[in-house]
Structure 1
Amino acid sequence: MEGFWIQLLAVLTLLTLTCSASDTPELIRAVGGNVTFRSPDTDTGGNNVFWNFGNIPIVTVSFKDPSQSRFSKECETRCIVSKSGRALRITRLRMEDAGTYSVNINGNIFTFTLQVYRELPEPTVTCAAQDCLDSICLLSLLCSVSGDGFGDISYTWTVWGQQWERQSVEFPVKKSSLDEPGLLMCTAQNAVSHRNVTVTNLRGLCPGESRGQGMFWIFPQLPGTG
């Protein structure tokens, strides 16, 4: 019987932790943008309201007559707090602003998680490989974004109307079509932005050429190769 209660207690503890984690709002913003944390409509009881970044106090709202707000040095030029103290706005966000924020209102603590990412620059397309056999070339193109602070990046290729959700793509093309403008576009996307680049000159992108030696290619039929 004792084992049953121990197992039940473990399940209840796990459910409590899961609910607590899901009750923490997660906000995602871009570098240079703004964010506003809003706590539930809770009575302050006439006491002070405390905002923290992690364990570091950043704002204190006092309701003494007259009421006043005190900001930490890092927050004083970029933070705005409502008169009730229940809303905090941070402007000109930086990467180091990411983390956990909390507000203590009359003993009630509400937490928020902030993720801050850089907006993507235009992606770059490079020719990873070109293999030609007779009048057909098999091209391998790679789409990438240089730099850091972007978080997870997803890539989508659009090649003559067909889409692939991947960073690199392979497709066949006639040699005679290498100089023709095509509809090849790569789109890069993260949590706060998306950018795309269009390839207009395949020969300029893949100026070199290797010749297949007894290769047997299997690929879907694409426009320009029939």
Structure 2
Amino acid sequence: MLGSPGCFIFIFLLCQLTGPAASRTRKELVGALGGAVTFPLNHSVNEIDSIIWIFNTTPLVTIQPNTPDGQANIIVTQNRNKERVDFLQGSYSMILSKLKKKDSGVYRVEIHSSSLQHPFTQEYGLQVYEYLSKPKVTMGLQNIENDTCVTNLTCSMEQGGEDVTYTWKSLGQATNESHYGSILPVSWRLGKRDITFICEARNPISSNSSNPIFAQKLCEGAPRDPTSSMVLKLLVVLFLLSAFALVAIILIMRKERGKVSEFIEEKKRTDNQQETLNYNPPSGETAEYDTVSHLNKTVPEENLVNTFYATVQIPPKMEKHDSLPTSPDTPKLYTYENVT
């Protein structure tokens, strides 16, 4: 079967694919902000007519290696890149320096040759990162449960947070532990051995660690006595009960004081009515009589003959009320006449 025509055709097609088609696998590169990166160019093309470096869709550099004087002709399409572009000696691998964030993207090189049916191509993916600064650690809400301080620590970057991974290291325990992720749950029993937490941030070009954080410092602001919150609640309840009792007493006292005031007012009204009944001002149409009471209710029979009869003289009607007596108790004048 190895000598069959179909096998030779398959081998021929495979050889064609190992040329330009097999060279299209992208190579991922990373660079540091302000640094330099090299785009390696490995090929087996002999008769090279031209080499073109392309950034995204824009031509960056064009190279003509075969010139009459034997010197390669290098053309940089953008003037701002002339000082940033260079090539390795004896090779056409490109070096890009003074990297910027906007240099991140897709680069492609094309090698054109009359010996190739299609140009040889190679793609690169460049990602420019910043050097990481010291990560920032923030603490969540504290909570005390059964003499245990519970909280969360969060590690973050203020700048350059692309493709950053976080690792927590806990030092001071029987076995040092590691935790992956930006958030670290902390559970530390009060009074136990102190634990040190360190956050390490890492990206493809650099790493940096936070300042050490001590569990004892994290929980020193929290109350150590677990019954303190219960005592505080009881004090609040007692205060509210006392306040309600005081308000009730004040209301009862005001109510009793109101009753006493009503009784006094009623007594005053009763006395005023009694005085009014004892004093009736004279009227021209109504005669006023005064009753003379005897000192002794019984009259001896032998004095019946000498009984005196009294006639009461009623004064004429007064024209003005100003002439009334000043007091209802002023004695009235009586005229007695003997009847024989």
Q: TM-score range by the shorter chain?
A: 0.7 to 0.9
1:197 partnered with 2:199: no
**2:199 corresponds to which of 169, 186, 198:** 186
The answer to whether the 8 A contact 1:129-1:141 is kept is no
Q: Does 1:170 align with 2:176?
A: no
Q: Which residue among 130, 149, 157 is the counterpart of 1:145?
A: 157
1:25-64 map, 5 Å: 25-43=27-45, 45-63=47-65, 64=67
Amino acid at match of 1:174: R
Q: Judge conservation of contact 1:155–1:189 (CA < 8 Å) in 2.
A: yes
Tell me how far 1:156 sits from its aligned partner: 1.1
Is residue 197–residue 214 contact of structure 2 (8 Å, CA) maintained in 1? no
Contact (CA 8 Å) 1:41, 1:86: kept in 2 or not?
Answer: no
In structure 2, relative to structure 1, the CA distance for the partners of 1:22 and 1:171 (3 Å cut) is farther
Q: 2:111 aligns with which of 105, 109, 113?
A: 105
Greater CA drift, 45-54 or 195-204: 195-204
Q: Secondary structure in 1 aligned to 2:134?
A: coil
Contact 1:38 1:87 in 2 (8 A): yes
Structure 1 residues 54, 151: closer, same or farther in 2, change over 3 A? Answer: same
What SS class does the counterpart of residue 119 from structure 1 fall into?
Answer: coil
What's the counterpart of residue 75 of structure 2? 70
Equivalents in 2 of 1:144, 1:104: separation in Å?
42
Name the SS of the counterpart of 1:74 in structure 2. Answer: helix
What secondary structure sits across from 2:102 in the alignment? helix
Q: TM-score, normalised by structure 1?
A: 0.73
1:52–1:58 CA contact under 8 A, matched in 2: yes
1:104-159, CA deviations, whole angstroms, 9 ceiling, x for partnerless residues? Answer: 212222211111111211111111121123532112111111124x4222111112
- Percent identity (aligned): 23
Q: Give, in whole Å, the separation in 2 of the partners of 1:44 and 1:38.
A: 17
Distance 1:22 1:119 in 2: 31
Q: Is the CA contact 1:42–1:105 (under 8 Å) kept in the aligned structure 2?
A: no
Hey, what does 1:118 align to over in structure 2? 130
Amino acid at match of 1:93: L
Instruction: Look up the SS of the partner of 1:198 in the other structure.
Output: coil
CA distance in 1 between counterparts of 2:157 and 2:84 reads: 30
Deviations 1:28-79 (A, max 9, x none): 2221221111222333524222111112111111232243212222321111
**Which structure: larger Rg?**
2
Higher share in helix:
2
Residues 190/82 of structure 1: CA separation in 2 closer, same or farther (3 Å cut): closer
Kept after mapping to 2: 8 A contact 1:98/1:116? yes
What is the count of residue pairs matched by the alignment? 194
Residue 86, structure 1, aligned to residue 92, structure 2: yes
Aligned to 1:23: 25
Matched, 1:157 2:162: no
Change in Cα spacing, 1:21 to 1:105, as seen in structure 2 (3 Å) is: closer
Bigger proportion of residues as strand? 1
Structure 1: which 4+ aligned runs deviate by more than 4 Å? 19-22, 201-208, 210-214
After superposition, the Cα gap between the structure-2 partners of 1:84 and 1:67, relative to the gap in structure 1 and judged at 3 Å, is: same
Retained in 1: the 8 A contact 2:132–2:202?
yes
> Given residue 75 of structure 2, which amino acid in structure 1 is its aligned partner?
R
TM-score, length basis structure 2: 0.50
- The answer to whether residue 145 in structure 2 is matched with residue 130 in structure 1 is no
- Separation in 2, partners of 1:46, 1:22: 18
Q: Which has the higher contact order (CA 8 A, sep 6+)?
A: 1
